[in-house]
A = this chain, B = another copy of it.
């Protein structure tokens, strides 16, 4: 994969700007589970996912988590470079959900090019608007949707990512995505099992009735 494929506006950068970015590029391979970026303590830089899967989430003081978005191949993570935006006053933690190959563009380099390039700056605007949309979706979910519908939505999302109906995932992990307690997830999953929508066994959740889960989610 070429770096250019992450940036539809690559051709609108000058040769100097392209070289500045390419010359600063850092390649990194991280293992599943690795912590890549932690809150405001570091300014990792822009992450570009070559392959694999990242998760961005926020942490409460008590260590509770809630997933705000996930990143796949060709996705760009802006908020690991949020130090370059004065007005970004929030802490996002990012870890690898799968073995992941990525590039890093140092925040300072990206900021410098963005400051003089309208195409790059406008494209950055679009990336931010996309993440904003995901967070607004999350707000709607946690404000208006009951937990059974949120669990159904999460299982369907996971199944789409993994490309199968059998998910190898613990109740604890689901709880961390949704920002709730393991016991709540266990209760919900048992309810969904009673309804014939899923089948539970040790370490797995099997989607028995994806249509039924979809109906529940969209209800």
Query: Provided the pairs A60-B140, A66-B143, A143-B142 are in contact, do residues A132 and B133 lie with their beta carbons within 8 angstroms?
Result: no
The reply to whether B88 and A129 contact each other, CB–CB distance below 8 Å, is: yes
Stoichiometry, as copies per complex, reads: 2
A142 nearest CB neighbor, chain B only: B142
> A93 in the interface, Cβ–Cβ < 8 Å?
no
On chain B, the residues within 8 Å of A132 by CB distance are 88, 90, 128, 131-132, 135
Cβ-defined partner of A121 (8 Å) among B61, B66, B121 = B121
Interface of A is mostly: helix
Name A86-138 residues within 8 Å CB distance of B: 86-90, 114-118, 121-122, 124-133, 135-138
> A82 in the interface, Cβ–Cβ < 8 Å?
yes
Alpha-carbon distance A62/B62, docked complex (angstroms): 33
Alpha-carbon distance A117/B115, docked complex (angstroms): 10
> A85 in the interface, Cβ–Cβ < 8 Å?
yes
A179 nearest CB neighbor, chain B only: B143
User: Which residue numbers of A lie inside 8 Å of B, CB to CB?
Assistant: 58, 60-62, 64, 66, 68, 82, 85-90, 114-118, 121-122, 124-133, 135-140, 142-144, 179
